[in-house]
Structure 1
Amino acid sequence: MSLCQPRPAESGYGSETSLRRHGSMLSLTSAASALSSTSTSSFKKGHRLREKLAEMETFRDILCRQVDTLQKYFDSCADAVSKDEFQRDRVEDDDDDFPTSARPDGEYNHNNNGSKEKLFSPASPKGINGIDFKGEAITFKATTAGILSTLSHCIELMVKREDSWQKRLDKELEKRRKVEDAYKSAVDELKKKSHYGGPDYEEGPNSLINEEEFFDAVEAALDRQDKIEEQSEKVRKPRLTLASPSDAYSTIGTHRFANKVEETVQNHMAYSIQEVGGDANWYYGDLKLLKVYRREVEENGIVLDPLKATHAVKGVTGHEVCHYFWDTAVRLDWETTIENFHVVEKLSDNAIIVYQTHKRVWPASQRDVLYLSAIRMIPPRNENEPDTWLVCNFSVDHDDAPPTNRCVRAKINVAMICQTLVSPPEGDKEISRDNIMCKINYIANVNPGGWAPASVLRAVAKREYPKFLKRFTSYVQEKTAGKPILF
């Protein structure tokens, strides 16, 4: 049956039964309104979501009852229409047997009022006249409004609960981030501090530490050594040493390495004093009077970069600079990288064999070196040339200091070549330290051995060599200040 069928005229709509049903619908409407107001107040009181869902169940029951009522009504209407059509057909058949009365205007008037009155009399099917559509409409509106209101409250409760969970999630994520950062920091610190005994994190062919981490660790260790050195310089007591007569340094000597010493000295004098030419491979760095040149050379993956530095130091002579560089009695006063050393053999007054171990810079392996150190004075070839003082250190082998597994044996060929330049004083004044300057050529060819990354070795060399020369020359100036000049 269509829900849009027109409602037939009701003669008994205001009957007692209709009023009772009307009152029943009004009470149902009042209940729905009360539920709606209860829903609003309960939300204000902060009832839970389950209570809101229970209210929606109540509204659903109300709507179901309305649907059942309407369905009964439309079923009654359908039955009534069917009976109406059946009786109408019977009336028309009866009218064919009886004459119709004519109106004054000549038209026929079928007398069927009796049949209609009979069709829509109170004896019609029960339920047709007992529906209060106005009350049902009010109830329906109130119920749907209550459903929407409760649903809105449910959504608000869900949003609040979602916001609460989101805040908890944000807090947990923040805690997790802090824990991950702390864990990462702990792991990094563990790598820096706890792997000193782990071969996988030290210098070697299968090291797990990359070049960047290797360099950072080396640089941090060197910084710590610099701070220790600064503190030790404040409490260091000065040492007084006497230089040997210059004649003892001008002889070649008669020891078993005499020819090797002479060959090394001549090579340095022939090539090391020369100015660096247009070799494009040389690296140039200018630090006022200190200039550093380096050429990148590798052999079998090992860095062998030859280095040359030139420097000019005021107030000291070449003899003084070479003396402090060669004398082992003051070695630890200016050399901060040495852990310990001792003289293995004294070959002559101007030549010794020294074994020394250098402080370990983790994760690099510890290095040691065994070298012959000789000091020489080279007479000038003509009147215009100054005296030249030279200290050469080059690696040798000795039975009393064989290589060990504890250290990586490095090979060196180092020379400190110094010349004294004198500017004549005015008048008959004596030469003072203001009138002298030492021109220095420092040569270093070092094979570090081992497996240290090339980039790290070059970065350390760039940092340490200029610092070493400035520290050493400042030490010589400090030691010779106020003392007689030693030419």
Structure 2
Amino acid sequence: QWTNYIHGWQDRWVVLKSNTLSYYKSEDETEYGCRGSICLSKAVITPHDFDECRFDISVNDSVWYLRAQDSDHRQQWVDAIEQHKTESGYGSESSLRRHGSMVSLVSGASGYSATSTSSFKKGHSLREKLAEMETFRDILCRQVDTLQKYFDACADAVSKDELQRDKVVEDDEDDFPTVRSDGDFLHNSNSSKEKLFPHVTPKGINGIDFKGEAITFKATTAGILATLSHCIELMVKREESWQKRLDKEIEKRRRIEEAYKNAVTELKKKSHFGGPDYEEGPNSLINEEEFFDAVEAALDRQDKMEEQSQSEKVRLHWPVSLPSGDAYSAVGTHRFVQKPYSRSSSMSSIDLVSASDDVHRFSAQVEEMVQNHMTYSLQDVGGDANWQLVVEEGEMKVYRREVEENGIVLDPLKATHAVKGVTGHEVCHYFWNVDVRNDWETTIENFHVVETLADNAIIIYQTHKRVWPASQRDVLYLSAIRKIPAFSENDPETWIVCNFSVEHDSAPLNNRCVRAKINVAMICQTLVSPPEGNKEISRDNILCKITYVANVNPGGWAPASVLRAVAKREYPKFLKRFTSYVQEKTAGKPILF
């Protein structure tokens, strides 16, 4: 399992049981409880595209990166996890359809309810018109009932009249006419007329004013139509306003959805930020801009921590130990220290010169490196078109020549600086002495001396602090200090520290770090301005001219633009920090020539 970017992949005891994946530090620690677990019901299993042994399990923002022994074991794990997901009931089509339908019904009901409620909230005028329509409806219902009663009564009366007339006709057919004395027939005409044409006055309609009701009915329907027309007019007038509000809501929703998508993307980035896919490598998912931002943020944090540490040291006023008095001797008109301040070497300056003749298995290589640096590194590159001046701060200038080989940045850097109050011997002494390395070097995580070849040559293995997402680097190099004899009295005194990569059986390559290759030289020349009269030489009369060259092959897959930006930022910072440290350590001490 991938633990974090510091420890990387670690062996873990993983248990798959009851639709849950749990892991323990080891099989023996299962009784103490698991260190983490995830439910597989909604987990997403993703086999890696390039690593045949790796697969990732993600649940929301939680991601587990796992690697099996081989591709067959990975497939067994993936199949087992998928089977547990299927048995849990969340992965089937019917389950998804059932849950989807439930959500749709609830959402539909909620939407209908919200629409029904909000449909009456159209404004004050519209509410008044709706109330008027309610009143018109009540009036219209009463009028319809009244008219219906009238029509029903009329229908009953007509039916009764038809029955009565039929009965009268039957009675008339049964009657015979009366013979008069003159021989004519005599009929009772009055009674027949009354039977044939009765006066129709149905019950229940005597109190109804049909004409008045009809007029009122027309007025009510006209009022309803007028109110409806007014409602339509109000809605038409508000259509533009509602449309504008709708457009605003649509735009607001679009912005919110866009912000939501961006937030989700950022959360995914943060949740995966420590994963192996986002660290330096040939298949890294992080782009060049994000890589640079992450490195710059990490360097800023380191700088802030270093500033806090320095402030704490200043606040505590740590005492500085001075060498004993027997270390000084008077020669001519000034004092100088015969012994360097290093605890690892008690050799004098003259001894270091003669020590250059000490023979060890890297002697020839050291001599070649020193001669090359003295020949080429001291040349002025200010007018060379191949060298670019990237930083200039006071006396300090940093030049760079862009070189790439197989996509790897191999830019040589050269810096020149002039520091008052220190000698070249003092600068090289503090640069070479491992006992004070941690006092000024802030990028090293740890280091140790692998082998002491001579009193002025050692092999050092050191690892640099991890700067996420770049891989951690380590360096195995030989460090030699040398005094270069002057060819004439006018030539300045010159000291050099030469560091270059070597191989050693005690420090083999490892998978945790990327091995960088270096060829670095610190060349220091001391310039002395004679004091007036017979005064002793003080630190006000000395100046150290520094030439620092660095040829570094970082290895790995870091983007070229990132490496160049980091070098432009860190090299001047290192040179200023180191020279300030030397000035601080030598202040008030006798001059070491």
Same fold (TM over 0.5): yes
Partner of 2:517: 411
- Determine if contact 2:133/2:227 at 8 Å carries over to the other structure: no
Q: Could you tell me which residue of structure 2 aligns to residue 464 of structure 1?
A: 570
1:152 corresponds to 2:233? yes
Q: Which residue of the other structure, out of 203, 210, 232, is the alignment partner of 2:280?
A: 203
Correspondent of 1:381 among 473, 476, 487:
487
- What stretches of structure 2 of length at least 5 have no aligned partner? 1-122, 142-210, 323-339
The yes-or-no answer on 1:242 pairing with 2:341 is yes
Change (3 A) 1:139 1:328: closer
- Point out the more displaced range, 143-152 or 474-483: 143-152
- Whole-angstrom distance in 2 between the partners of 1:53 and 1:465: 86
Could you say which residue in structure 2 is the equivalent of 1:401? 507
Quick check: 1:221 aligned with 2:327? no
Aligned to 1:107: none
**CA distances 1:71-127 after superposition (whole Å, capped 9, x unpaired):** xxxxxxxxxxxxxxxxxxxxxxxxxxxxxxxxxxxxxxxxxxxxxxxxxxxxxxxxx
Aligned positions, number: 375
* Structure 1 gap segments, 5+ residues each: 1-41, 62-129
Judged with a 3 Å threshold, the aligned counterparts in structure 2 of structure 1 residues 143 and 213 are, in CA distance, closer, same or farther, namely closer
SS at match of 2:437: helix
Deviations 1:200-247 (A, max 9, x none): 111111111111100000001111111111122234445667254102
* Equivalent position amino acid for 1:203 in 2: E
**Residues 140 and 359 of structure 1: CA distance in aligned 2, closer, same or farther (over 3 Å):** closer
Helix, strand or coil for the counterpart of 2:460? strand
Kept in 2: contact 1:408–1:449 (CA 8 A): yes
Change (3 A) 1:327 1:148: same
Shift of 1:308: 0.5
Is residue 329 of structure 1 aligned with residue 329 of structure 2? no
Between 473-482 and 254-263, report the one with greater CA deviation: 254-263
Return the offset for 1:179: 4.1
Q: CA offset at residue 56 of structure 1? A: 10
State the Cα distance separating 1:186 from its structure 2 match: 2.7
Tell me the SS of whatever aligns to 2:368: helix
Equivalents in 2 of 1:485, 1:48: separation in Å? 103
The question of 1:341 aligning with 2:447 is answered: yes
The change in CA–CA distance for 1:149 and 1:373 in structure 2 (over 3 A counts) is: same
**Is the partner of 1:216 in helix, strand or coil?**
helix
**How far is the alpha carbon of 1:427 from its aligned partner?**
1.4
Residues 315 and 438, structure 1, Cα contact 8 Å, conserved in 2: yes
1:434 aligns with 540
- Over 3 Å counting, the alpha-carbon distance change for 1:347 and 1:44 in structure 2 is same
- Helix, strand or coil at the partner of 1:46: helix
Q: Distance in 1 between matches of 2:427 and 2:460?
A: 19
Query: CA–CA distance in 2 between the matches of 1:213 and 1:239?
Result: 46
Q: Which has the larger radius of gyration?
A: 1
For residue 271 of structure 2, the aligned residue among 190, 200, 217 is 190
Q: Name the CA distance, whole Å, in 1 between partners of 2:465 and 2:575.
A: 19
Name the amino acid aligned to 1:273: L
Cα separation, 2, equivalents of 1:153 and 1:225: 67
CA contact (8 A) 2:481 2:498 kept: yes
Partners of 2:137 and 2:251 lie apart in 1 by: 35
**Matched letter for residue 348 of structure 1:** A
- Contact 1:239–1:330 (CA<8 Å) still a contact in 2? no
Give, in whole Å, the separation in 1 of the partners of 2:565 and 2:241.
59
Structure 1 residues 230 and 152, CA, compared in 2 at 3 Å: closer, same or farther?
A: same
Kept in 1, the 8 Å contact 2:493–2:527? The answer is: no
Q: Which residue of 1 aligns with 2:310?
A: 233
Residue 206 and residue 46 in structure 1: after superposition, are their counterparts in 2 closer, same or farther (change >3 A)?
same
Amino acid at match of 2:283: N
CA offsets, 1:257-285, max 9 Å, x none?
A: 11111111111111111111532121103
Paired letter, 2:502: V
Correspondence 1:268 to 2:368: no
Identity %: 64
Structure number with higher relative contact order (C-alpha < 8 Å, ≥ 6 residues apart) = 1
**Matches of 2:227 and 2:312, distance apart in 1:** 90
The answer to whether residue 475 in structure 2 is matched with residue 369 in structure 1 is yes
Secondary structure, counterpart of 1:150 in structure 2: helix
CA distance in 1, matches of 2:455, 2:567: 32
The TM-score, its normalising length taken from structure 2, stands at: 0.57
| 1:429 Cα deviation after fit | 1.0
Distance change (3 Å), C-alpha of 1:305 and 1:152: same
